[in-house]
């Protein structure tokens, strides 16, 4: 494994960086927009007490809210993404803080709205729709507000909760600064004497090394360092769940889970169905672990053995340009409008490609800006990064289709469907790659990679979801989320999910401390449900062709115009039942069997 120094931000060629000038030409223009947006808080407050006055006034409020929403998303997106370029850059961290303050000020000034919309009598609201037909655009947002009547407070109480929003972001921000800016892991030397910089971004790629002793050193070095700050990270998670409980109780929900899922109209049964269905299908996971142990030829399988390819000889470098070309071919089944849009993103610097010192780890798509989405990558010239690129561009094109089809108020899709488009891209990519190889080793390597994706997204994310549920239940029972308590629970779940053929090393008990998604309020389960829904949609596209593609694009273009369960039914999937999860896990089991035969 060749040594590659991580460059400073200033050393990254411009063509491999995203062009944030599409949002703001300069920091000075951003600061000018900040001053203008600060004044908008007063304008937003001027509607207080007037929303039930007339149809004209209600329509005016919604239109101005739309305009403000577009400006705020562009404003906050610039500061946030500049901050992610280098988390140690204090200027942009300050901008991010300023952006959040403006956002909270406007949210506080607008906090009266839900209560006032709730208070409009039904017959009055019906008359408003008749008097002002353009209000029909806002029927869905109005209905979403009114369905939560039991959880909307008085205008003054809503203003207080909105003002607490800035404080509620503190645990996540502190955790991110610790993991990405302050923590340093140093270098790890392989068996040939090469030194490799260890970081959040390089940790998993280094664990893909065929050098087992090196993998062990990487694993132990990372978790030894993380263990030195485990109490601090546990304290941030304890703070996270305390703030979730504050809002849950203020809004009269029974649990933090109920409060989180109600925001996106997802029944709690979907969360519990997922965990139970995965438990029912753990034998397929255990077969996978047995197969990995056998093919690696080890007496004991350890947690530092889970990322290295089983068919290592077929692993190859995939430069960024090659990855883009292959993705365009793989997704051609979705039509030229889809691939033309992909190419536009590739050619016009929507993507921040490579890792640099201080850059936020991982990958994401930021799709809220009206101009176009952005993707953060830490591309590593390997198959995993190629899949990540396809994944994040799936998010981006979902955002693009919704934003350019829906009115502002229903253009943002909810998180429950957020992982579907990204994973459809991954499933179509693996099918393309498998269809274009006759080499037995390469086929085995590709199936192994997809099995690892499957395992990581469905089994692993469900394990995360079960751990997050346990954290919520502990916090709600008055139990402090200490490092020791979290390590004990995580270790227990790791043993359950990986089964008897996996050695659950002591270090893995600390894995919870490196997962940023535990600060995202019951988000992770949607990776698993989204993956299962995507498997069903992609297989339908590949077997049915044009009708399935048409239905899928209707789904991509629907934003939040319906509840998420109804949206997925457009694409032919019913997530209110355990069946899609069960079908996907059956598919996983069949791939394990094919891999065993290969």
CA–CA separation, 287 vs 594, rounded Å?
A: 12
E-assigned strand segments in 239-319: 301-302
CA–CA separation, 193 vs 159, rounded Å?
A: 60
CA–CA separation, 551 vs 556, rounded Å?
A: 9
CA–CA separation, 79 vs 392, rounded Å?
A: 20
Element (H, E) at 73: helix 55-85
CA–CA separation, 211 vs 191, rounded Å?
A: 7
The answer for residues whose C-beta is within 8 angstroms of residue 567's C-beta and 6 or more apart is 413, 417, 555, 558, 561
Active-site hit among 392, 419, 466, 511: 392
Query: Pairing between strand 374-376 and 351-352?
Result: parallel
Burial class (CB in 10 A: 0-12, 13-18, 19+), 276: middle
CA–CA separation, 473 vs 475, rounded Å?
A: 5
| 213 is annotated as an active-site residue | no
Per DSSP, the residues of 154-197 read -HHHHHHHHHTHHHHTHHHHHHHIIIIII----EEE-TTS-EEE
CA–CA separation, 111 vs 118, rounded Å?
A: 12
The answer for residues whose C-beta is within 8 angstroms of residue 385's C-beta and 6 or more apart is 318, 323, 377, 378, 379
CA–CA separation, 173 vs 535, rounded Å?
A: 34
Q: CA nearest 435: which of 310, 542, 317?
A: 542
398 in Cβ contact with 333 (< 8 Å): no
Cβ atoms within 10 Å of 208's Cβ, excluding its own: 19
124 in Cβ contact with 85 (< 8 Å): no
269 in Cβ contact with 259 (< 8 Å): no
The residues carrying an active-site annotation are 392
């Amino acid at each position: 494994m060749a040594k590659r120094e991580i460059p400073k931000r200033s050393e990254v060629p411009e063509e491999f960086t995203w062009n944030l000038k599409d949002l703001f030409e300069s920091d000075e223009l951003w600061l000018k927009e900040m001053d203008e947006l600060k004044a908008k808080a007063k304008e937003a407050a001027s509607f207080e007490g007037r929303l039930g006055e007339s149809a004209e006034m209600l329509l005016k409020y919604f239109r101005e809210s739309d305009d403000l929403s577009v400006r705020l998303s562009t404003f906050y997106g610039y500061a946030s993404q500049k901050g992610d370029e280098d988390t140690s850059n204090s200027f942009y961290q300050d901008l991010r803080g300023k952006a959040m303050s403006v956002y909270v000020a406007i949210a506080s000034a607008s906090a009266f709205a839900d209560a006032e919309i709730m208070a409009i009598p039904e017959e009055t609201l019906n008359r408003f729709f008749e008097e002002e037909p353009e209000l029909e655009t806002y029927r869905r947002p109005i209905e979403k507000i009114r369905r939560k009547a039991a959880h909307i407070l008085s205008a003054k109480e809503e203003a207080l909760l909105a003002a607490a929003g800035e404080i509620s972001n503190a645990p996540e921000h502190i955790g991110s600064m610790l993991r990405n800016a302050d923590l340093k892991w140093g270098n790890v030397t392989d068996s040939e004497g090469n030194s490799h910089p260890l970081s959040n971004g390089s940790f998993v790629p280094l664990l893909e090394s065929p050098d087992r002793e090196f993998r062990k050193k990487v694993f132990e070095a990372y978790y030894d360092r993380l263990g030195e700050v485990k109490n601090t990270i546990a304290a941030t998670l304890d703070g996270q769940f305390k703030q979730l409980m504050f809002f849950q109780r203020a809004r009269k929900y029974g649990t933090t889970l109920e409060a989180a899922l109600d925001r996106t109209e997802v029944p709690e049964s979907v969360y519990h169905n997922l965990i139970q269905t995965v438990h029912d299908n753990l034998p397929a996971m255990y077969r996978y672990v047995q197969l990995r142990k056998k093919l690696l030829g080890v007496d004991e399988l350890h947690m530092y053995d889970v990322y290295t390819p089983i068919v290592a000889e077929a692993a190859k470098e995939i430069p960024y340009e090659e990855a883009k070309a292959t993705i365009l071919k793989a997704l051609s089944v979705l039509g030229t409008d889809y691939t033309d849009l992909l190419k536009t993103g590739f050619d016009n610097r929507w993507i921040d490609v490579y890792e640099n010192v201080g850059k936020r780890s991982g990958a994401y798509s930021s799709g809220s800006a009206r101009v176009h989405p952005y993707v953060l990558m830490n591309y590593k010239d390997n198959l995993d990064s190629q899949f990540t690129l396809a994944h994040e561009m799936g998010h981006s094109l979902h955002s693009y289709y919704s934003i350019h089809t829906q009115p502002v108020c229903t253009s943002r899709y909810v998180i429950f469907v957020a992982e579907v488009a990204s994973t459809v891209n991954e499933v179509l990519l693996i099918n393309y790659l498998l269809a274009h190889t006759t080499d037995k080793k390469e086929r085995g390597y590709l199936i192994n990679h997809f099995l690892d994706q499957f395992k990581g997204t469905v089994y692993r994310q469900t394990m995360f979801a079960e751990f997050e549920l346990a954290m919520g239940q502990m916090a709600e029972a008055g139990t402090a989320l200490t490092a020791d308590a979290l390590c004990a629970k995580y270790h227990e779940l790791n043993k359950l999910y990986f089964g008897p053929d996996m050695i659950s090393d002591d270090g893995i008990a600390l894995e919870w401390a490196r997962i940023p998604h535990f600060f995202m309020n019951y988000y992770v389960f949607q990776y698993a449900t989204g993956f299962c829904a995507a498997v069903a949609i992609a297989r339908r596209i590949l077997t049915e062709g044009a009708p399935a593609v048409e239905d899928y694009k209707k789904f991509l273009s629907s934003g939040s115009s319906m509840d998420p369960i109804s949206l997925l039914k457009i694409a032919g999937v019913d997530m209110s039942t355990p069946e899609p999860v069960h079908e996907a896990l059956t598919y996983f089991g069949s791939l394990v069997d094919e891999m065993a035969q290969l």
